[in-house]
Amino acid sequence: MARLIEGLDVARVRENAARIREEIGEARLLAAVKYVPLEELGVLAEAGVTLVGENRAQDLAAKAEAYPGAFHWHFIGQLQSRKVKDILPHAELIHSVASDSALRQLERHGTPETEILVEVNVAGEDDKAGIAPAELGAFIQRCSVKVIGLMTMPPFARDPEESRPHFAALRELAAAHGLRELSMGTSQDYRVAAEEGATIVRIGTNLYE
C-alpha cells in the first residue's frame, strides 16, 4: 500500500505547480489526492492548486465537505456503479465511466447537464477497465448525460515515449467523435501526454515532492 503524503510545503507545491503548468501549456493541472490526508489539503489551496481529483467515493465526500468552495473536484478512480449517486453531488466531472451499469445510475441520479468522460482501454489490456475503441461510438450513443471527452491509462512503461502511441490514439478517437476533453498523463508521462493533446493531466508525486 502506498504511503500517505504528509508534511506538504506550500512553497514547494507552488513551485512544482508553476513548473508543471509551464511544461503542459494549455492543459489543466489536476492534483491527484488519493494519498493526501484531508488535513493536508489546505496546503494545495494556499499554493493555488484548486483542481483536484479523488479516487475513492467516500474520501471524495469527506474531503469536499471539509473544504466547501475551496476546490473543483473530479472523480478519477475506478467507477463502481453503486457509488455513482454518492459521487455526483461532489464531483464536477467523472473521468472513468466505462460500463452500462454506470450509465444506468447516471441516468437515474444525474441530469441532462451532468458531464462525464468515457474511459477507453486503448491498449486492449485484459486486466484494465475501459471501453474498447471499436465500441466507443455505440457506448456514447447510449449515454443520457453529456460526454465531453475521453480518459485513458496506458500500460505502465518506464520510458514515457512508450505511452505516446496510446495518447495519440485517444486524441484521434476524441476528434472522430467531436469531443473536446482528454484526460491523460500522470507524473510519469504527463509531458508526452500534453504534447499529444491532453487537456487535463493527473499529477500526484511530481506535484508534492
Give the total number of structural domains in the chain: 1
- Residue 3's pLDDT band, with cuts at 50, 70 and 90, is confident
Instruction: Judge whether 30 lies within some domain.
Output: yes
What is the rounded average pLDDT of the residues 87-94? 98
Reported as a single tens digit per residue, the pLDDT across 105-142 is: 999 999 988 999 999 999 999 888 999 999 999 999 99
Instruction: Judge whether 2 lies within some domain.
Output: no
Range of the domain at 190: 10-208
The separation between the first and the last C-alpha atoms of the chain, rounded to the nearest angstrom, is 18
Amino acid at 181: E
pTM above the 0.75 mark?
A: yes
Secondary structure of the chain in HEC code, one letter for each residue: CCCCCCCCCHHHHHHHHHHHHHHHCCCEEEEECCCCCHHHHHHHHHCCCCEEEECCHHHHHHHHHHCCCCCEEEECCCCCHHHHHHHCCCCCEEEEECCHHHHHHHHHHCCCCCEEEEEECCCCCCCCCCECHHHHHHHHHCCCCEEEEEECCCCCCCCHHHHHHHHHHHHHHHHHCCCCEEECCCCCCHHHHHHCCCCEEEECHHHHC
Instruction: Judge whether 1 lies within some domain.
Output: no
Amino acid at 97: V
What b-and-e string marks burial along 114-137, b requiring 16 or more CB atoms within 10 Å of the CB? bebbbbbbbbeeeebebbebeebe
Mean pLDDT of the chain: 96
Instruction: Judge whether 176 lies within some domain.
Output: yes
What the block records as the C-alpha cell of 101 is 451499469
Among 132, 56, 53, CA closest to 95: 53
Instruction: Judge whether 4 lies within some domain.
Output: no
CATH of the domain at 148: 3.20.20.10
Reported as a single tens digit per residue, the pLDDT across 136-183 is: 999 999 999 999 999 999 998 999 999 999 999 999 999 999 999 999
Instruction: Judge whether 81 lies within some domain.
Output: yes
Cα separation, 76 vs 64, in Å, equals 14
Return the DSSP state at 2. Answer: P
Instruction: Judge whether 26 lies within some domain.
Output: yes
Instruction: Judge whether 5 lies within some domain.
Output: no
Reported as a single tens digit per residue, the pLDDT across 62-74 is: 999 999 999 999 9
